[in-house]
A and B are shown apart, each in its own frame.
Chain A
Amino acid sequence: MATETHAADAAQGASAPGMPQLDFSNWGNQIFWLMITLVVIYFVLSRIALPRIAAVLAERQGTISNDIATAEELKAKAVDAEAAYNQALADARSEAQRIIAEAKAEIKADLAQATADADAQIAVKAAEGEKKIAEIRAGALEAVQAVAADTAAEIVAAMGGKADEKAIGTAVANRMKG
């Protein structure tokens, strides 16, 4: 149908029934405007739009990979920080252990010192006491000797003898030794 009416179309203009597409009288016009349109679109796209979109896409790709790299870096930092924290914790713990041990040793030493001092003092006091006791004992022996001599002289006198002081003293001394 189209090819039959085409001749009539061309003759009568576009208003005739049939396919306006086959009205070749306006092809030149359409092709002219089409070429202009295509050239304009081509230049707008190739000079402005496409480089811009390519740049935006590349930039976005860069930003994304940058962000991922930064995130990885931060993650590594966090791991490091955790390790450092654990290290510090362990250090602090061992430091505390050390301080406790030191304090314990110090206290022990102090205690030993104090004990030793006290022992020494006690020993000194004991020695003093013993000395005093010895003195007292010595005093007592002398007194006993004197009393014994006196008593012996009196007993000798009472028995009617004449007390020889020297003999009595020697006898008492001999008895005391024996």
Chain B
Amino acid sequence: MATEAHGAEGGGLVFHPMDQFIVKPLFGGDAIGLFTITNVTLWMGIAIVAIVALMVLGTARRATIPTRTQSVAELAYVFVYKMVEDVAGKDAVGFFPYVMTLFMFIVFANFLGLLPMSFTTTSHFAVTVVLALLVFLTVTIVGFAKNGAKFLGLFWVKSAPLPLRPVLAIIELISYFVRPVSHSIRLAGNVMAGHAVIKVFAGFAAIATISPVSVLAITAMYGLEVLVAFIQAYVFTILTCVYLKDALHPSH
């Protein structure tokens, strides 16, 4: 916000919609080493604290008649558990804690990113690529470990006519390796784009005549972003379940 205000005071409109995504060391200095404590560290830490508050402290009383916080925690549990069970199959419930970890991290990172002045960790490809690669590697390793060479049947479409099969195999192979790319870019792209658009509207708010429209637009975008924050977490999780299903039951 501050940057936009500065820009407006300086005369013309200056947009820095991407400045919100800059990784900065928290305790001075410019260099970012591997272990430097940055705003990434801070907001991931806040995400951990929030998840612990909801899932551990919220359920501390183990009440049969749940409190509101415990209800939300149970809701999240049942939501993801049903998703894993329904989409990936009953034998995939062993992956439930793993899928739950991904879902909770993404949903909390997305919603924490909607706080003004916050830093959105899931808007960074570094984060989403790692998440997507984790899923990709898990799926590939589990697929081969559970099914051996039969896992390759995923690329050999038996229901297609024989001459088409090699072509389809190439397409399937490409689509398999594109999965982590789309998986990661979808999440980071959606989050980043929404936040950037809000910043652009915020820049326009410096012009008195446009500012009411701008504020309305920011409000509308914010509402959309609230939806996107949840939907992208949901999409990421359900795709993880779909890929897990491929790993456990590779037949088409």
Interface set of A (CB-CB < 8 Å, partner B): 13-15, 17-23, 25-38, 40-42, 44-46, 48-50, 52-57, 59-60, 63
A22 and B125 form a contact (CB under 8 A) = yes
Residue in chain A with minimal CB distance to B52? A44
Q: How far is the CA of A30 from the CA of B34 in the complex (A)?
A: 8
Q: How far is the CA of A25 from the CA of B202 in the complex (A)?
A: 29
User: Is the contact region of chain B dominated by helix, strand, or loop, or is it mixed?
Assistant: helix
B56 and A14 form a contact (CB under 8 A) = no
A29 and B38 form a contact (CB under 8 A) = yes
Chain A residues closer than 8 Å to B126, beta-carbon distance = 21, 26-27, 30-31, 34
Q: Is B231 an interface residue (CB 8 A)?
A: no
> Could you pull out 11 A-B pairs where Cβ atoms are within 8 angstroms?
A13-B30, A14-B32, A17-B16, A26-B126, A29-B40, A33-B40, A38-B101, A38-B105, A44-B56, A50-B55, A53-B74
Interface residues of B in 91-136 (CB under 8 A from A): 96-98, 100-101, 104-105, 121, 123-127, 130-131, 134
Instruction: Please give the distance in Å from B77's CB to the nearest CB on chain A.
Output: 5
Q: Is B240 an interface residue (CB 8 A)?
A: no
Q: Is B36 an interface residue (CB 8 A)?
A: yes
- B127 contact from A20, A34, A41, A53, Cβ within 8 A: A34
A21 and B192 form a contact (CB under 8 A) = yes
Interface set of B (CB-CB < 8 Å, partner A): 16, 18-19, 21-24, 30, 32-36, 38, 40-41, 44-45, 47-48, 51-52, 55-56, 59, 62-64, 66, 70, 73-74, 77-78, 96-98, 100-101, 104-105, 121, 123-127, 130-131, 134, 188, 192
B59 and A52 form a contact (CB under 8 A) = yes
With A21-B126, A23-B23, A57-B78 known as contacts, the answer to whether A49 contacts B56 (CB < 8 A) is: yes
Instruction: Please give the distance in Å from B75's CB to the nearest CB on chain A.
Output: 10
B34 and A21 form a contact (CB under 8 A) = no
- B100 contact from A15, A50, A57, Cβ within 8 A: A50
A53 and B77 form a contact (CB under 8 A) = yes
A45 and B41 form a contact (CB under 8 A) = no
Chain B residues closer than 8 Å to A50, beta-carbon distance = 55, 77, 96-97, 100
B18 and A18 form a contact (CB under 8 A) = yes
Instruction: Please give the distance in Å from B207's CB to the nearest CB on chain A.
Output: 21
Instruction: Please give the distance in Å from A95's CB to the nearest CB on chain B.
Output: 50
Chain A residues closer than 8 Å to B59, beta-carbon distance = 49, 52-53, 56
With A26-B126, A41-B104 known as contacts, the answer to whether A63 contacts B64 (CB < 8 A) is: yes
Q: How far is the CA of A37 from the CA of B55 in the complex (A)?
A: 15
Chain A residues closer than 8 Å to B192, beta-carbon distance = 21
Instruction: Please give the distance in Å from B89's CB to the nearest CB on chain A.
Output: 19
B74 and A57 form a contact (CB under 8 A) = yes
A21 and B98 form a contact (CB under 8 A) = no
A37 and B125 form a contact (CB under 8 A) = no
Chain B residues closer than 8 Å to A23, beta-carbon distance = 23
Chain A residues closer than 8 Å to B38, beta-carbon distance = 26, 29-30, 33
Chain B residues closer than 8 Å to A28, beta-carbon distance = 34
Q: How far is the CA of A33 from the CA of B42 in the complex (A)?
A: 10
- A44 contact from B18, B55, B73, Cβ within 8 A: B55
- A32 contact from B35, B47, B78, Cβ within 8 A: B35
Q: How far is the CA of A136 from the CA of B100 in the complex (A)?
A: 132
Chain B residues closer than 8 Å to A19, beta-carbon distance = 18, 21
Instruction: Please give the distance in Å from A87's CB to the nearest CB on chain B.
Output: 40
